[in-house]
Amino acid sequence: MDRSMLVFTDERGAVVLIEDDLARALGFDNPDDAVGDPLAATLGLATTDADNLLKEISTTGRARHRLAQVRNQRTGRSWWVMVSGSAAAAEGRFIGAGRPLPR
């Protein structure tokens, strides 16, 4: 069954929260093992793809659905997902982003 899965980052693009099911699908035994890692490394995304996504979110407050390839860190298995995101702002300052990842 397809459903959205969530990962949240801080304003530097480091993971601060990841859903358990998503973490397991990406090869993490414990979701906490992904906390602090860059978004690209956690999702197995190309660095430029992750940077472009975060840049769009930080400048516009959101990113519409786009196709991205993610990879399991342990097995190397990859699959395509649609990613999107939004960011909260406080006093005009970007404070982080959350991206649902439909599987």
- Asked, for residue 26, whether it belongs to a domain, the answer is yes
CATH of the domain at 35: 3.30.450.20
Write out pLDDT tens, residues 16-69. Answer: 999 999 999 999 999 999 999 999 999 999 999 999 998 888 888 888 888 999
Instruction: Check pLDDT > 80 for residue 2.
Output: no
Is 1 a member of any domain?
no
More confident residue, 5 or 43: 43
Query: Looking at the domain assignment, is residue 51 inside a domain?
Result: yes
pLDDT tens digits, one per residue of 79-89: 999 999 888 76
pLDDT at residue number 1 = 39
Number of domains making up the chain: 1
Domain-embedded: residue 74: yes
What are the backbone angles phi and psi of residue 69, rounded to the nearest 5°?
-100, 125
Closest by CA to 10, choosing from 91, 87, 92, is 87
For 60, the domain range is 6-100
Neighbours of 38 (CB within 10 A): 17
